[in-house]
Amino acid sequence: MKKEIPADEGPDAFSGFPVVLCSVGGEKDNIITLALCHVFSFKPPLIGIGVAPKRFSYGLLEKGKDFAVNIPTKAQLKAVEVCGSKSGRRVDKFHVAGLTKEKASKISSPLIAECPVNLECVKVKQVETGDHVWFVGEVVAARMEESYDKADMLLYWGDYRVIGEKVD
């Protein structure tokens, strides 16, 4: 039997969204933890990130031409929490999260060396949707650790998880 639930609690039914660390340059290089991240197109490869305007990163993303989507692993949960709780307005998140800047090949924003996957994105669209703005970027370069295992990737929606069993 289904029961009515408040409309704004409907999205709570999702089990998890990918946790990424977005690195963006500008007046100050910064990192923001995001769970609002989705593929918007395969050809061309477009990825969108949803960022609330009150975030320090929002201004950097608005002014800048590019950003990087870095995929951390479950072993990097501490850095994920630091980058998702401290603001670049007050701290240097590369320093406090113990992460290293790596030069990108095609964009000016830095990459995060410790993340096994780095996607270099050039901003192509900015869409306002309620309390978040979606920055859609074309992936123009990508690198992946040979040993990368998707099973180590974090998901978040209220709590942190990793992917479960394969269903055939």
Ligand X SMILES: Cc1cc2nc3c(=O)[nH]c(=O)nc-3n(C[C@H](O)[C@H](O)[C@H](O)COP(=O)(O)O)c2cc1C
Write out the residues near ligand X by the rule CB under 6 A.
19, 30, 32-36, 50-52, 55-57, 81, 84-89, 156
Task: Please state the closest distance from residue 51 (CB atom) to ligand X, in A.
Answer: 4
Q: Which is closer to ligand X, CB of 97 or CB of 107? A: 97
Tokens of 22: 């977005």
Tokens of 55: 């975030």
Task: Please state the closest distance from residue 91 (CB atom) to ligand X, in A.
Answer: 8
Alpha carbon distance 60, 119 (integer Å)? 18
Task: Please state the closest distance from residue 61 (CB atom) to ligand X, in A.
Answer: 9
Q: Which is closer to ligand X, CB of 44 or CB of 158? A: 158
Q: Which is closer to ligand X, CB of 87 or CB of 108? A: 87
Task: Please state the closest distance from residue 46 (CB atom) to ligand X, in A.
Answer: 17
Nearest to 18 by CA among 74, 79, 82, 96: 74
Residue 71, amino acid: I
